Structure 1
Amino acid sequence: MLGAGVASADSYAGQKYSDVTSALGDAGLTGVIATREGDSLSNDDCIVTHSQQAPWIKGDDFSPVTDTVLLYLDCSAAVATASTPGNSAASPEGRAAIAAAKAQAAQDQATAAANQAQPKGKG
């Protein structure tokens, strides 16, 4: 008779590689890239799709490795263009990326307008 497996959430899935490696370092762990899909982004900007504890053993006593986490990266662009692979603009991920880019552009524009409205200092 088989029992049900234990489900656990992946703490790192959906985060940028740079953020994950920083969090792992803070926890005394090392992240190792297991796979990398796409070539549109630098490693630091890639998204971790999932992670797992390294299943390795080491040494003469075959001790399990407990300080290494395997990271699976998606390095495709947030939204596909004619020349760059990525999420479809119609997909939930693509729509979210477009909305985030528009929100960031609006914030940048508001900040620039506020800075321009500031009186110039006399020098």
Structure 2
Amino acid sequence: MRLQMLGIGAVAAAASAMVLFGSATAAAAPDVVGQPYSDAVDAIEQGGGTAVVAARVGDKLDQGDCVVVNAWDSSFLRISESRSQVSLALNCAGEYATATNPGASVASPLGREAKSKAEEEAAEEEQQALEEVSTPDE
């Protein structure tokens, strides 16, 4: 009988603590790695969370253009904040490293993808410029 009373008391204490302190919602950080910070914030807020910059490297880009290189759930609960917080690590040095600009190594997946995208955009711009060139009439 005494063990049953202790068990009931423990359950009541746990329920009281949840009412008093609230219960945190368990949510995993969304997959925003590789996205610009501004897009990552939108995705996190749509999921009901709050984005927090935990680390930042570089100063070449505006914060909204910085690339998210890591995202994780914050390991604490703020009493004044009912939404879950997602910590972000940002690369603001540039999308990929060159001889004159810092950024993600082209040996990394993020760097390779960024360089390929930049090369494709440069090729499209060159093609458009060639199409706009007109030859003089004879």
Shorter-normalised TM-score: what interval? 0.5 to 0.7
Partner of 1:53: 73
Give 1:23's match in structure 2, choosing from 30, 34, 43: 43
Confirm or deny that 1:34 pairs with 2:54.
yes
Partner of 2:87: 70
**Residue 113 (structure 1) shift:** 4.5
Aligned residues: 106
Q: CA, structure 1 residues 24+96, in 2 after alignment: closer, same or farther (shift >3 Å)?
A: closer
Task: Give the whole-Å Cα distance in 1 for the aligned partners of 2:130 and 2:113.
Answer: 26
Using the size of structure 2 for normalisation, the TM-score is 0.59
- Unaligned stretches of 5+ in structure 1? 1-7, 118-123
Partner of 1:109: 126
Task: Give the whole-Å Cα distance in 2 for the aligned partners of 1:10 and 1:22.
Answer: 11
- Which one has a larger percent helix, Structure 1 or Structure 2? 2
The higher radius of gyration belongs to: 2
**Residue 30 (structure 1) shift:** 1.7
**Residue 80 (structure 1) shift:** 2.5
Please give the secondary structure, in 2, of the residue aligned with 1:39.
coil
**Residue 81 (structure 1) shift:** 3.6
Please give the secondary structure, in 2, of the residue aligned with 1:76.
coil
Does the 8 Å contact 2:50/2:83 carry over to 1?
A: no
Task: Give the whole-Å Cα distance in 1 for the aligned partners of 2:68 and 2:101.
Answer: 19
In percent, how many aligned pairs have the same letter?
36
Using the size of structure 1 for normalisation, the TM-score is 0.65
